[in-house]
Structure 1
Amino acid sequence: MKKAILVICFAILVILSPFSPTLANLTNQENNHIAIFEISILPDLIKIKSNLQEKIYVWFRDQGITTGSKIKNIIYSPIITIGKTPFSLATLIKFLITLVIGLYVLKWVKRRFEQILSNRSPELYSRFISLITLGYYLGIFIVFIIALSVIGVDISQITIILGALGVGIGFGLQTIANNFISGIILLSERAIKVGDIVEVGGNLTGEIKRINMRSTVIRTYDGLDVIVPNAEFISNRVTTWTYDDDWRRLHIPFGVAYGSDPQQVAKVAYEVAQETPLTSEDKQHKTKVLFTGFGDSSLDFSLIVWCRMHRLRKSTKELISDYYFNLYQKLSEAGIEIPFPQRDIHIRSLSDQIQKKLKESFKPK
């Protein structure tokens, strides 16, 4: 503080007497004293700075060690003990890492196989996709067992877990277990495959797009994706159009007016079947025209044709509609009348007044 006051005083003297050599000499001497003082205290400052840095380092080191030990205690302290195996947060992290890596590898392998099969042939894809899906879920079970063994769980203790799961299934997971087991049956038996055209419950028709462990996805002809529980395919009757082959027979009933030649009608209907692109025919699947009976106002016929469902991808109503369009056109060109319902009314008795009015209305004017 004294040094600072002296410096200020000498500065004032220098300003007031700039031409005074004595003052100038005194100023120079004072400046030299200040410089010597600063140089003399510099080692002390450096020493203080080093001590302060050392204290800060020691404090942070001690805090880091304390915090690290606390985190270590939290991670490795047992949370729960099952049997003789303690479970900590580190155990849980190790289990999750093993499970995530295993599932990622399984999904990558599954996608790779699906891409290879779909690029080669759709038939090959639909044939093996069920086996790939079954193998994928089996792989999930194996990965789960490996993850348990990594964290030190005795495999023999898994029976305890399975027993607990059995109790849970018995109380609240019956439907899920039923669908899951049904999915295993569908994937192993391969009674239905991806790409098959099926009818479930009498009101749902479409193509199977995917078979999972719990449910099956069906794409209807209206473009809707319907998720059906797998138990529906096991417990209910399922109609499949493509089980052994994709041949499907269609019955197209129609009628013509009385007085029409049945042979000509059969010939025209057969020509319609041959000219319609939907029709497929071979030695075992022949087109037929049946005379089915005498209706109230028509001669009844039925055109029976075969179609290949994998080529068409149409509903039954759409297929029959195409044949009706062609039938109407061909019958009209051949001059064959298509009847409409008619009723004959026979009057047995009328009052005299009504008879008189009827006679008057029919008299020529």
Structure 2
Amino acid sequence: MNFDLTQYPPIVQQIAGYGLQGYDLAMGWLLSPAAWSQFAILVGAYVLAVLISRKLRPMLARLIDPREKQNLFTAPRLFVLQFLPLILPLLAYALTGIGEQIVRSIFDSGAVIAFGKRLFMFLAVRTFVRDILKDPFLKVLGKFILIPIAALYAFGLLDLVSATLTDTVVGVGNIKFSLMAIVRGVIAGSILFWLGQWSNGQTSALIEKQEMRPSLRQLLMKLVEFMIFGAAFLILMNVMGINLGALAVLGGAIGVGLGFGLQKIASNFISGVILLVEGQATVGDYVELDGGEAGTIVKMTARAAILETYDGRWIVVPNEDFITTRVVNYSDSGSANRYEAEFSVSYDTDINLVPDIIEAAVSKHAEVLAAPYPPDCELRGFGDSGINFAVEFWVNGIDDGPNKYTSDVLFLIWNALRDNNITIPYPQRVVEIKGGFPTATPASE
């Protein structure tokens, strides 16, 4: 094919020259026995892979599927079962590789069949991302990173792009990175921290099943999380080629700064570790601090504990306050607490009968405990208007929020006294006028 392009700009002539070279090369391939044999092997390998996979995939599915009997190997078998869609492209890749060896031994050429083999690998990667990956994060990672890399590999551009990224250096000040190091860091960082999150979740679930104090359980979970992500960070630094010795110097400088400028944060962090180790206060406990803060611990962080009051407010209390001040824990060593309800009876009552009546009535409450002590009615004193009593009782929980134990007990006392015709007095005053009432003197006329 000859065209007169002398009247066109040089760049057009150069592009046309490349196009003619590509055309001649394509025609040479299409008309050569080596090209036709490679196309034929590609088609044959794919057809053979389809036929084998149609027979092999159902057979493997029946063999691996654990639905009939559940045992120790159920989970691994289910894991393997999800990879069955890869049989077709991987079989085509393997058969094409065998055909490539044959073609190269006969014609000393195999560019076409090599491209077909890489194309089958691209199809395998695409199937893996589309049908096998279920985690949303991994699916996004596969769609925007793994598939483009497989596409570059299929067209034979992966080495060229990799070399270009390696030679391109960017930096800020004295810190310089190649684009390849940045890309490698993004990919490795995404995978490492996903693995860290997944392994941390698995470890936390395993620790949750163990019989131990809640505070110790939380400490172990935090320790494992710190170790996992710390290891992931160090591996990432090695992958990106960052000198860890420089980080050690930087870490020492940061440590000095933390020691002087962040003493309170460090103190609260250490106090939090002490709380978790000793278990004196943990999530779910109802506590009251010396400063008047009171509530149920709903969350413990590295810096502070969060208390939720019964009126719905959250109070953030630094961990240091739990160590340096007096703390009343109403839920520690069991959640049984003692309360009392006061009442009075009139002076004309046989007070010897009152304790048995009240104790029997209070014992009927479903939440009142018989241990460590049953209800106990005590005589407290003789008041101005009546005889004062109080009944002590034990319950599990706090007499506030959803629980109104004292109110319920007072209702029981009222009903018991009424049923036994015992009067609850009200304030009375007797006024005595000595000498009688003065008589009125008639006014003189």
- In structure 2, what is the equivalent of residue 301 of structure 1? 389
1:139-168 deviation digits (Å, cap 9, x = unpaired): 344434444444445545445333332343
DSSP-derived class of the 2:367 partner: coil
Partner amino acid, structure 1, of 2:4: D
Q: 1:292·1:301 contact (CA, 8 Å) conserved in 2? A: yes
- In structure 2, what is the equivalent of residue 174 of structure 1? 263
CA distance in 2, matches of 1:113, 1:50: 66
- In structure 1, what is the equivalent of residue 378 of structure 2? 290
Partner amino acid, structure 2, of 1:327: I
**1:191 equivalenced with 2:151 (yes/no):** no
Structure 1 pair 163/291, CA: closer, same or farther in 2 (3 Å)? same
CA distance in 2, matches of 1:195, 1:121: 18
CA distance in 2, matches of 1:334, 1:49: 118
Partner amino acid, structure 1, of 2:391: L
Q: 1:131·1:188 contact (CA, 8 Å) conserved in 2? A: no
Alpha-carbon offset, residue 57 of structure 1: 9.8
**1:276 equivalenced with 2:365 (yes/no):** yes
Structure 1 pair 117/174, CA: closer, same or farther in 2 (3 Å)? closer
Partner amino acid, structure 2, of 1:323: V
Q: Which of residues 294, 306, 324 in structure 2 aligns to 1:217?
A: 306
CA distance in 2, matches of 1:278, 1:174: 46
Q: 2:295·2:307 contact (CA, 8 Å) conserved in 1? A: yes
Q: Which of residues 235, 244, 251 in structure 1 aligns to 2:324?
A: 235
- In structure 1, what is the equivalent of residue 345 of structure 2? 256
CA distance in 2, matches of 1:337, 1:46: 125
**1:105 equivalenced with 2:195 (yes/no):** yes
Q: 1:207·1:220 contact (CA, 8 Å) conserved in 2? A: yes
Structure 1 pair 137/330, CA: closer, same or farther in 2 (3 Å)? farther
- In structure 1, what is the equivalent of residue 421 of structure 2? 335
Q: Which of residues 301, 317, 320 in structure 1 aligns to 2:406?
A: 320
Partner amino acid, structure 1, of 2:316: I
DSSP-derived class of the 1:301 partner: strand
CA distance in 2, matches of 1:57, 1:273: 105
Alignment of 1:49-60 (within 5 A): 52=12, 54-55=14-15
Alpha-carbon offset, residue 106 of structure 1: 3.3
Structure 2: any 5+ residue segments left out of the alignment? Answer: 19-161
CA distance in 2, matches of 1:99, 1:189: 36
TM-score, length-normalised on structure 1? 0.65
CA distance in 2, matches of 1:238, 1:101: 44
Partner amino acid, structure 1, of 2:217: F
CA distance in 2, matches of 1:277, 1:209: 27
Partner amino acid, structure 2, of 1:278: E
Q: 2:215·2:276 contact (CA, 8 Å) conserved in 1? A: no
Partner amino acid, structure 1, of 2:196: L
Q: Report % sequence identity.
A: 26
Structure 1 pair 117/338, CA: closer, same or farther in 2 (3 Å)? farther
Q: 1:255·1:301 contact (CA, 8 Å) conserved in 2? A: yes
Structure 1 pair 46/78, CA: closer, same or farther in 2 (3 Å)? closer
Structure 1 pair 165/246, CA: closer, same or farther in 2 (3 Å)? same
**1:139 equivalenced with 2:232 (yes/no):** no
DSSP-derived class of the 1:250 partner: strand
Partner amino acid, structure 1, of 2:331: T
Alpha-carbon offset, residue 121 of structure 1: 9.4
Partner amino acid, structure 2, of 1:105: L
Partner amino acid, structure 2, of 1:168: G
CA distance in 1, matches of 2:221, 2:198: 12
Q: 1:255·1:300 contact (CA, 8 Å) conserved in 2? A: yes
Q: Which has the higher contact order (CA 8 A, sep 6+)?
A: 1
Alpha-carbon offset, residue 274 of structure 1: 0.9
Aligned residues between the structures: 299
DSSP-derived class of the 2:404 partner: helix
Alpha-carbon offset, residue 104 of structure 1: 3.4
Alpha-carbon offset, residue 219 of structure 1: 3.3
CA distance in 2, matches of 1:142, 1:295: 72
Partner amino acid, structure 2, of 1:304: E
CA distance in 1, matches of 2:194, 2:304: 22
